[in-house]
A and B are shown apart, each in its own frame.
Chain A
Amino acid sequence: MEEQDKSHLLPYAKRSDFKVGRATELTGTDRRLYRTLEIIPGALSWTILIGMILASMYAPFFAAYFIIAFSIYWVLKTLFLSYHVRYNWKRLKHHMKLDWQILVRRFDYEHFYHLTIFPYYNEPIEVLEEAMKGLLSAKYDPKKMIVVLAAEERGGADAVNQAYVMQEKYAQHFGHFVVSVHPADIQGELAGKGSNTHHALHQVHRDVIEAHNIPHKDIITSIFDVDTVIYPDYFNCLMWHFLTAENPYKSAFQPVPLFNNNLWEAPALSRVMAMSSTFWQMIMQERPEKSATFSSHSVSYQALYEIGYGQANVVSEDSRIYWNLLIANDGKFDVVPISYPISMDATIAPTMWGTIKNIYKQHRRWTYGVENWCYITYHFIKNKNIPLKKRLAIGALQGEGYSSLVTNPILLFILGWAPIFLGTREFHETVLSYELPIMVRNLLILAMGGLVVSAIISLSLTPPRPEKHPRFRYIVMVFQWIMVPITMIVFSALPGLDAQTRLMLGRYMGFWVTPKRVNVK
């Protein structure tokens, strides 16, 4: 459903290739350029990993020095990131204690609407219900909320009906309540959250915003995963940050996703992955110039309207929308971290094996976000209005991020030992060959010290213990962090490498819907 009228779009957003999703959508030189960009991340990661093996075989001394350097770097990086997590934790706790309703009172904000979109597929009705209850429990006038339940036709009639059940039950509480049903198999779209949201935004624009003549600048759009349960002060906190932001209409507002709705039901593996994702977002909260939007986030409707909303043809739509905004605004678009939590589900399944598979698939989808690197690099080449320094910095930073995500855990925990097994006889006879494993082991143990910080913070962010769970579970929650070296490889590096390899080979991924379970909070 691409806009015919492009008059309201920003100049760069009017380009035909602005919302390119993959190389096959382009032609000629552009297609070749984009395809090359799709190949680069996977090729680079494989080159690094194979290069390490070859170096271990033919240049083991160099490989050993590199591993030592890399291990030291890892310890210091852990220290650096722990510092950020710890700082954000303090800020998060502080923000959770504040009464944002009082803080926001000094501003004139009553005319603002919160457009909240919950795209879903076939999640249980209890999940939708929890989301609605979350909105109603917010310390914000519900009549100033426009709630959209965005169903998928492909989810089946039952799934669609759930939206109408919710509408019947909750519509009277809110200012506006819209049920949109995203038709299946629209040409040029990729089935998933992005295309569903895109369709819902068009519908709400027509049925509510235009119909009631609501100024675009008075609407703040929050695009939430359907398992998102907001904390009571979320909208006040968001409003405060919006009203105090330097460029509110050129900013996206990022909360901290806590995957804790079902944390007590989730197995240790799932908890570690959920908390690790939260920690990464906490780190990014303190490095906004390096971050993009992730998962549930908020942005001015005006900004979205100026780019014709997000893309309906990509997997990682949550981050892509930020890159769309950044590029269309010639680099003048920021992420404003609000250091306030929202609750979401940790990935689980009825069986352990199912949980492992679901976590793997979820992280493969997340790490397929590497498609965004191709997108931004392509447009950084095209859009010369963005300062060169900014283009280079973002391109390099994002590239390094995707590369290190895949290669660092494998280099550290597997290939770090390669020179010992693959090195030449001359190498094996040296003190270096004997000292290398001892040194790497000690450095990794030192780096694992960062996990102590993780364990403490994760406990503090854990919801109150339901009575049916024993206190002993707290001890498990502390020791679960020793799984991190394994989870880094199995649920970060491998799915990342999988995703990059698929992109490299042109075997493009579709959107995989993470199964949501009943919220038991």
Chain B
Amino acid sequence: MPLEPEIQSLSYKKRRSFFFVLLLIFIIALPSFIFYSSGYRLNFDNEETTIVTTGGIYITTDNLEVDVYMDEERVERPRLFRSAYYIQNLESGLHRVVVQRPGLHTWVKVLPVDANIVTEAAAFNMPELPHIRPIAEYLNQGGQGVFVVKGSTSTPLFTKATTTGDFIVVNRATPATLRVNSEHEYVVDLFGSTTATSTSIINRLEEEIDRLTTTSPVATTSTTTPLAYIEQGEMRLVEYGDELAARWIGSGPSTPHYFCSPQAASSTVALRLGLHFAQQIEEQSLSTTTPLHIEGDRVCRTEIRLDRKWQKIKYYEFFPRSSDLVVLQLEDGLYVTEIDDRAWQNTQLIYPGDSFRTYVTDTNIYIEENGHYFELLTKIDEDN
């Protein structure tokens, strides 16, 4: 048995030495970590190791199962927050982003990346083949939808789309066992007695006249006076004759990034974001009604024109729960387009045809075609 404890208390010298080792690590680590988190990287590609400044791209998707490609290389899916991709270590310049999945429209954009800056974008992928949920006029006792037709019941009702939900087609008079589908009544009410398109525009025109006569501050004029508008949050859609534009009516600092460009020469802007972007900046710089505004180091447009594919717009509305996407009914079908026009606007056909009516609520897209009503589904099962 020892006469003294064999383990003495930790000596001051040892503690001090350990402290200074950790202090040294701190002194070395701090600038390294700060430089790294600011986007600086060591480049070992050349013979001489150099420090390069990098940027990034942040893409959000509306579908968890899509594949994201950056400059033709697949990006690994994030483990957490699976709808958001943060792609690091990108050199300054233009980068092509593709978001795709079989069965969905492909979203493609060429985005500029600057050193130490992250470029944001929101991708969307609508189904290529329309998928609908029929809304029958009647329900049978089992809750099954019942469509009553005059002709043969074997003729398909919905030829352009796949359907979900159970329904049957009959051509007899309404049996007593059927009950009226309240959802059908609701949707019929939405569309009203006239076409949804014309009703919508007339109503809006009346509202606009009201606003003008009461000198409401929201009644703005442009080189072409807007005929009507609708709003979602702080985004407004305004009509100019055949044209439709998205206008930001919120505060300057909260202007969405795609309205803006770093302050630069017109040619640089055209190269980075597209000729149309540069032209709009030039146009709006001369405009008194839709002026450019400077936000720190960036210049922001007030309006972005929407791509109508050289067709007439029959109906428009914000995409449900979005102020960045717009539903456009053109001559050959129903489209969803993004307001973001950097490089170009992605516009995806969600329902083809020229003889149907559309009504978009805050949550759903309804269509009436050949006297039948249905909801157009813009999501397909992510497991498929």
Contact = CB atoms under 8 A, between A and B. Distances in A.
Given A99-B1, A287-B15, A434 B9 contact: no
Interface in B10-65: 10, 12, 15, 18-19, 22, 25-26, 29-30, 33-34, 36-39, 54-56, 58
A455 interface: no
Chain A interface category by residue count: 35 or more
A430 B6 contact: no
A337 interface: yes
A484 B21 CA distance: 27
A76 interface: yes
B297 to A, nearest CB: 7
B121 interface: no
A68 B30 contact: yes
Contacts of A83: 18
Given A72-B30, A72-B33, A429 B25 contact: no
Given A68-B30, A80-B19, A102-B1, A431 B55 contact: yes
Contact of B29 (A64, A72, A87): A72
Interface in B77-91: 86, 88
B198 to A, nearest CB: 41
B3 A433 contact: no
Interface stretch (A89-97, A207-215, A298-306, A467-475): A89-97
Interface residues of B, number: 40
A337 B9 contact: yes
A436 B116 CA distance: 13
A106 interface: yes
Contact of A426 (B10, B22, B86, B297): B297
Of listed B6, B34, B86, B257, residue having the most chain A CB within 10 A: B34
A125 B125 CA distance: 72
B83 to A, nearest CB: 16
Interface in A437-482: 439
A91 B38 contact: no
A111 interface: no
A94 B5 contact: yes
B118 interface: yes
Given A72-B29, A425-B296, A426-B296, A431 B39 contact: yes
Contact of B9 (A69, A73, A76, A91): A91
Contacts of A88: 10
A432 interface: yes
B4 A103 contact: yes
A288 B18 CA distance: 17
A286 B10 contact: yes
Nearest to B295: A425
A79 interface: yes
B5 A76 contact: no
B275 interface: no
B117 interface: yes
B117 A429 contact: yes
Contacts of B253: 424-425
Contact of B7 (A64, A94, A425): A94
B26 A73 contact: yes
A65 interface: yes
A324 interface: no
Given A286-B15, A431-B117, A431-B118, A76 B22 contact: yes
Interface of B: 1-7, 9-10, 12, 15, 18-19, 22, 25-26, 29-30, 33-34, 36-39, 54-56, 58, 86, 88, 116-118, 120, 253-254, 257, 295-297
15 contacts: A68-B37, A69-B30, A72-B30, A79-B22, A98-B2, A287-B10, A287-B15, A288-B9, A339-B9, A430-B116, A430-B117, A430-B118, A431-B37, A435-B39, A439-B37
